[in-house]
A and B are shown apart, each in its own frame.
Chain A
Amino acid sequence: MITEEAFEVLAAQTGLPLSAEQKATLRAVYPTLREMMDLVSRPLPREAEPGHIFVPEVR
């Protein structure tokens, strides 16, 4: 569980008008989000490009 102080910093960075109750709700689920961010952030080959390429042509 992320500390209340550390979560306060993240919450402030969002700029959202969160109540204490809303912060508590989001703080409780934040570890699940953190797990997902860690899962996708496992090392990838340097040349692995993102999936949202675009076709450089005028349509």
Chain B
Amino acid sequence: MSAIPTIAEAARLIADKKLSPVELTQDCLGRIAKNDSSLNAFLMLTEERALADAKAAEARHMAGTARGPLDGIPIAHKDIYNTAGIRTTAHSKLLEDNVPTKDAVTVTKLAAAGTAMLGKLSTHEFAMGGPSFDLPWPPARNPWNPAHFTAGSSSGTGAAIAAGFILGGTGSDTGGSIRGPAALCGIAGIKPTYGLCSRTGVLPLSFTMDHTGPMAWTVEDCALLLQAMAGHDPSDPGSANRPVPDFSADLSKGAKGLRIGVVRHFFETDHPVSPATQKGIDDALDVYKQLGAEVRDVTLSPMAEYHAAGSIILTSEAYAVHEPWLKTRFNDYGELFRDRIALGGFITAAALFQAIRRRRILTLEVTAAMADLDILVSASQPGEAPKIDEVPKWGNLEKPSLTMPFNLTGFPAMSVCTGFGVGGLPVCMQLIAKPFAEPTLFRAGHAYEAATAWRQMRPAMAG
């Protein structure tokens, strides 16, 4: 076992009374005290709350009333998740003093599972604009090399998990904001099916594209966190009213018999990836073949079509959310978010509706392509993390996003680390499953992680 346990490992040790939730939380707080000044992963640390949560969890374990595998596990929330009595800022001057009176539904669910809440995590401003250097707090940095970008927008969650500050955390994903930082920080992160996890109490960016979900060191840990987060929420109009399956049920089934389709043109021609990312995907496909999966290529429409429809819908919806502030407090936003969202004012109503019409056509296309497949494979980032001060303002538009197709279509998708590039930073692949087939997605991701050694490697600072 590495020095920093996974959630699954910690849960077993706690259940066996070989690890104290209080000591586990203190270990995390110690790493935060030692290293977060160079990473800026936390916007607010709630040390007293974390230790109180951990002590309560420990008491339950000692009394035989433990709530399950998350009882006593240190986590934190992206700072767009409302937390009652605890500042929730979206990393923005506009909400600098915002203190919600109520938890987000998913925050309540994770607390009810017994987690110890360590605080609020950096995000790109309002889950879109970053990395920004003109906000009240600095941007999060990559634990593998703090001179480099984390991706976003769940930047603090990605950095904090990779650095061992927390064992898991929450993210949100509107165009790739869970899968991007999971990829560049070398962890696992899942954007579940649209509607699987409540969005109530999470600051909106784009109503029809926003997804909430977990991030953690391993796929198995994401399954444990999602178990607590998922479920119907009548207060969320997009929430799916269906039973929640056991997300860990298929983890031990391996990859034998899985039917895998590779959307090769997405990452070879539509948005070519780095040689290391390409090699990571090719090697992963070899692993799957060796494990008994069937692998073949599939072709979808050019990724630019998914990207255009997704970007137009996202930017329009975000503009609608922010229009009152854009007209009255325009210069209180950071430059990146402000300029990216301002573009929404230039989108015509006809173009928006054509994008929404195309959304149905593209969703049906992916559904048809997966009729006889269990999993799709693509990339989720084009390469290793760039330097944090070399991220272009319009990088979100210059090339089609590798993650956007699955926000547009709502299919569940996950980033899984496939190794390291020439700069020593992580590279990754993206796995996609059919709607509400998260158990299959976790099965595929876990089979790959179990067959490779990447989960044994932590950033040097995590020691």
Task: Indicate whether B350 reaches chain A with its CB closer than 8 angstroms.
Answer: yes
Q: Which residues on B sit within 8 Å (CB–CB) of A39?
A: 304-305, 308
Q: Which residues on A sit within 8 Å (CB–CB) of B331?
A: 17
Binary flags per residue of B313-328, CB closer than 8 Å to A gives 1, else 0:
0000000000000110
Could you say which of B71-79, B174-182, B282-290, B341-349 contacts chain A?
Answer: B341-349
Quick check: A40 and B345 within 8 Å, CB to CB?
A: no
Residue of A nearest to B305 (CB): A39
Q: Which residues on B sit within 8 Å (CB–CB) of A15?
A: 327, 345
Quick check: B308 and A40 within 8 Å, CB to CB?
A: yes
Quick check: B394 and A32 within 8 Å, CB to CB?
A: yes
Minimum CB–CB distance from B411 to chain A (whole Å) comes to 13
Residue of B nearest to A41 (CB): B354
Minimum CB–CB distance from A18 to chain B (whole Å) comes to 7
Could you say which of B6-14, B163-171, B356-364 contacts chain A?
Answer: B356-364
Cα-based distance from A48 to B398 in the complex (angstroms): 29
What's the dominant secondary structure at chain B's contact region?
Answer: helix
Residue of A nearest to B330 (CB): A17
Quick check: A59 and B347 within 8 Å, CB to CB?
A: no
Task: Indicate whether A44 reaches chain B with its CB closer than 8 angstroms.
Answer: yes
Residue of B nearest to A54 (CB): B237
Quick check: A33 and B347 within 8 Å, CB to CB?
A: yes
CB under 8 Å from chain B, chain A span 1-46: 10-11, 13-18, 22, 25-26, 29-30, 32-33, 35-37, 39-41, 44
Interface-centre pick from A25, A48, A51 (highest chain B CB count, 10 A) = A51
Minimum CB–CB distance from A15 to chain B (whole Å) comes to 6
Given the known interface contacts A36-B312, A41-B351, A59-B234, the answer about A26 and B357 at a Cβ–Cβ threshold of 8 Å is: no
Task: Indicate whether B35 reaches chain A with its CB closer than 8 angstroms.
Answer: no
CB under 8 Å from chain A, chain B span 250-289: none
Cα-based distance from A11 to B346 in the complex (angstroms): 7
Quick check: B312 and A14 within 8 Å, CB to CB?
A: no
B356 CB contact (under 8 Å) in A32, A51, A59: A51
Given the known interface contacts A40-B355, A48-B360, A50-B357, the answer about A16 and B330 at a Cβ–Cβ threshold of 8 Å is: yes
A29 CB contact (under 8 Å) in B307, B338, B348, B394: B394
Task: Indicate whether B339 reaches chain A with its CB closer than 8 angstroms.
Answer: yes
Given the known interface contacts A16-B330, A40-B309, A51-B363, the answer about A26 and B339 at a Cβ–Cβ threshold of 8 Å is: yes
Residue of A nearest to B328 (CB): A17
Task: Indicate whether B19 reaches chain A with its CB closer than 8 angstroms.
Answer: no
Q: Which residues on A sit within 8 Å (CB–CB) of B327?
A: 15-17
Given the known interface contacts A16-B327, A36-B308, A44-B361, the answer about A22 and B355 at a Cβ–Cβ threshold of 8 Å is: no
Task: Indicate whether B299 reaches chain A with its CB closer than 8 angstroms.
Answer: no
Cα-based distance from A44 to B330 in the complex (angstroms): 37
Cα-based distance from A41 to B351 in the complex (angstroms): 6
Residue of A nearest to B409 (CB): A51
- Residue numbers of A with Cβ under 8 A of B are 10-11, 13-18, 22, 25-26, 29-30, 32-33, 35-37, 39-41, 44, 48-52, 59
What are 22 A-B contacts defined by CB distance under 8 Å? A10-B346, A15-B327, A16-B342, A17-B331, A22-B338, A22-B342, A26-B339, A33-B346, A33-B347, A35-B308, A36-B308, A37-B347, A37-B351, A37-B354, A40-B308, A40-B355, A44-B358, A44-B361, A51-B363, A52-B359, A59-B234, A59-B241
- Using A17-B327, A17-B330, A44-B354 as known contacts, list a sample of 19 further A-B pairs with CB atoms less than 8 Å apart, ordered by residue number in A: A15-B345, A16-B345, A17-B331, A22-B339, A25-B393, A30-B346, A33-B343, A36-B308, A36-B311, A36-B397, A37-B312, A40-B305, A40-B308, A40-B309, A40-B354, A41-B354, A49-B360, A50-B357, A51-B208
